[in-house]
Amino acid sequence: MSAKIKIGVLGAGSMGSGIAQVAAQSGHEVVLTDKSLTQLDSARGNLDRTLQKLVEKQKMSAEESQAVSDRILCSTSMADFEDCGLVIEAIVENLEVKKKVFSDLEKICRAECVLATNTSSLSVSSIAAGCENSGRVIGIHFFNPAPLMPLVEIIPAVQTSAEVLSQSKSLIDSWNKITVVAKDTPGFIVNRVARPFYGEALRIYEEGVADFATIDWAMTEFGGFKMGPFTLMDYIGNDVNYAVTDSVFTAFYFDPRYKPSLTQKRHSDAGWYGRKTGRGYYDYSTDKMPEPNRDKVLGEKIFFRILVMLINEAVDAVFLNIASPKDIDLSMTKGVNYPKGLLQWANEIGPGKVLAQLDQLADEYREDRYRASALLRRMAAAGQSFEFK
């Protein structure tokens, strides 16, 4: 794959246009397509405003800004992908739609063109199955906003050739991104490991242990997280966050560890998506946010309960060879801005202490939701800690 191949991006939403910006800033000619001319016009306007802000902040010159803009061609026709070396799809999260699109792309693009999906939760192998040459299909998952978030998950399908994996990783590395390689399993690394941050917080609320504000306070005050789970869900959108949780839960054959919350579903059903609708777990029509209960004992208890669930998920990802310990911790610090890697946290606390808390929860609730990873149990028994190579 040539260093300056032409890049195609399918879908001119915030993610697609962000990827187009990243590729153009890295010196590539880019074809950004969408079936909606209105969406393309909006994407072009947003891109030009973003580039202008970078000029105003003196992060690039006016000439560089113009050059980046000029390198992006907006089109409503996928036929313009004909001479691209890589096409990244960033459209609706619907498997059948994606499979049809990839089948169409294969008829348009050259044989050596790599076809990538930016899916956050769907099976890359299933998407690749829509192509005759499925070996050239791979997952390249950016995080929103793509120009600012450093992490990119690279997900080879079971059909992906070793050459396509190597070429794709090298190319995205050259865009000054931090890449991690993840197995093609539901949620990959970040959207799998992060589920308890939301799910256990919702469970704590549903049990009446604490309100939204108190749970958020506990995670920022004692954990050092930049946002609490309810503030973050309102920022992401409860419709989006619930859909990802439901997708992961279904894909894992309804494993109770990933069970969605009725509280979040009701907020989504009501149209209380969060900031974008003015109402979510918090009411954004007023500047006055509810005050948390700043009880230290309660706060530490909430924090530790959520933390051990997160650590258990990260440990199980190592156990099931989803990714290396190094890549898992990189994913959580660079993909969702966790204050430290969860496996590093496990080392500091001690696997035995994490296991004891999980076993206490499992004994109290008698739910498979709280089952400890076999690897965590083995490490606690052996007094081992994680190594990052």
- Which residues are catalytically annotated? 120, 141, 153, 191
Up-side HSE of residue 157: CA atoms within 13 Å toward CB? 26
- Rg from Cα positions in the chain: 22
Task: Kindly state the DSSP code that residue 113 receives in the 8-state scheme.
Answer: -
Cα(248)–Cα(255) distance, rounded to whole angstroms? Answer: 9
The angle formed by the CA atoms of residues 36, 40 and 41, to the nearest 5 degrees, is: 115
Cα(9)–Cα(88) distance, rounded to whole angstroms? Answer: 5
Phi then psi for residue 105, to 5 deg, are: -60, -40
Whether 351 contacts 337, CB under 8 Å: no
Strand order in the sheet with 151-156: 72-75, 30-33, 7-10, 86-89, 114-117, 137-142, 151-156, 178-181
Tokens representing residue 137 in the block: 């299909």
Secondary structure (H, E, C), 156-219: ECCCCCHHHHHHHHHHHHCCCCEEEECCCCCCCCHHHHCHHHHHHHHHHHHCCCCCHHHHHHHH
Whether 97 contacts 151, CB under 8 Å: no
Residues in contact with 325: Cβ distance below 8 Å, sequence separation at least 6, in sequence order: 318, 343, 386, 387, 388, 389
